Amino acid sequence: MNSYKITTLNDFVTLRQKDFPYAKGELSSLLHHIGTAAKIVNKKINKAGLVDIIGRSGEVNIQGENQQKLDVFADKVFINALLASGECCGVATEENQNEIVFTDKFARKGKYVVCMDPLDGSSNIDYNVSVGSIFSIYRRITPRGEKVTNEDFIQEGSKQVAAGYVIYGSSTMLVYTTGNGVNGFTLDPSIGEFCLSHPCMRTPDDGRIYSINEGNYIYFPSGIKKYIKYCQEKDEDTGRPYTSRYIGSLVSDFHRNLLMGGVFLYPQNENAPEGKLRLVYECNPIALIAEQSGGAASNGQERILNIIPGSLHQRSPFYAGSKNMIKKIEEFIA
């Protein structure tokens, strides 16, 4: 093997274009622009703790720009990158009540819409905890050249043509799928490129980690309470008791479990009767990654990717990870 050879994200998406016989490179261009936006957001996140210091000195930040909240910053960076790609005709994000319709004549011809959470878990930033960006790409339903409408953004998750996330952690990674397996790329800061580090990611069928905010225990449905007790029981055959790990940052919790085997749970509870996470731009993209790596994702009753969203910011109970663990959770809920 040639140890000097690296495969960058851009090399990889271009190579993979051949997997789609009719692809003309539009999706590759879109993924390339998402990668660029992620690098800009990454740079800003790395400086998060310095913002006040810089602001106080009065030397930089006279415009007040550094004070901008990071989730608003990330939102703007991703939207601008998607507009610049020329392949995207509209974006829906957690930060905006309604979908953003790109009206210029090039963007209107774009084939794709993107739904995203530009900075998930942003309440963790002040404490130097990992956060993420989550994205989901659909082919538009409305004809090219026209303005996109709400129906383009609320398609069922199984219609996603690509999905992924960026994790801003001890290193920064971009993980994505186009429905043909999952691949992970680590940002090499010295060259400013995402490099293929985790080809063909597979998650174990069984895991030993459960990730849930147990502080909400008394509010959980009884099936979930019983499942938690099951995780804590001793049973040598299944390796129980399991280990509990919960960061409170979906991308980080999911990513760890993807690599190690485990399950992420965010059930409905008395305070959040539909759960907390948003179906369109949090659950669906993570669900596609889960399935494409050999895992599963469910709302407790049915496959996440089969749910037809009623609205952009709809919430859903969410369980994702190792497939036998998801099956077990569904049994407990039933």
Where along the sequence are the contacts to ligand AHM (CB under 6 A)?
A: 94, 117, 120-122, 213, 248-250, 266, 276
- Look up residue 247 and give its amino acid: I
Alpha carbon distance 193, 164 (integer Å):
17
The partner in contact with residue 324, picked from Mg ion, ligand AHM, none with C-beta cut-offs of 5 to 8 angstroms by kind, is: none
**Cβ closest to ligand AHM, residue 93 vs residue 178:** 93
The single residue listed with the structure tokens 């129906």 is: 151
Tokens of residue 330, six digits = 């569904």
Q: Are strands 318-321 and 262-266 parallel, antiparallel or unpaired?
A: antiparallel
Cβ atoms of 160 and 284 closer than 8 Å: yes
Alpha carbon distance 61, 172 (integer Å):
26
Cβ atoms of 116 and 136 closer than 8 Å: yes
Give the dihedral of Cα atoms 229, 121, 43, 190; nearest 10 deg: 20
What's the min distance (Å) between Cβ of 123 and ligand AHM?
6
**Cβ closest to ligand AHM, residue 94 vs residue 99:** 94
Alpha carbon distance 263, 320 (integer Å):
6
The partner in contact with residue 330, picked from ligand AHM, Mg ion, none with C-beta cut-offs of 5 to 8 angstroms by kind, is: none
What's the min distance (Å) between Cβ of 133 and Mg ion?
10
75 is an interface residue for Mg ion by CB under 5 A: no
What's the min distance (Å) between Cβ of 312 and ligand AHM?
14
Alpha carbon distance 219, 204 (integer Å):
30
The partner in contact with residue 276, picked from ligand AHM, Mg ion, none with C-beta cut-offs of 5 to 8 angstroms by kind, is: ligand AHM
What's the min distance (Å) between Cβ of 103 and ligand AHM?
28
Q: Which of 75, 95, 99, 120 binds Mg ion (CB under 5 A)?
A: 120
**Cβ closest to ligand AHM, residue 107 vs residue 167:** 167
# residues near Mg ion by CB under 5 A: 2
What's the min distance (Å) between Cβ of 231 and ligand AHM?
17
- Look up residue 108 and give its amino acid: R
**Considering only 18-26, 109-117, 149-157, 195-203, which stretch makes contact with Mg ion by CB under 5 A?**
109-117
117 is an interface residue for Mg ion by CB under 5 A: yes
User: Per the omega criterion (within 30 degrees of 0), is the bond before 317 cis?
Assistant: no
71 is an interface residue for Mg ion by CB under 5 A: no
Interface with Mg ion (CB under 5 A): 117, 120
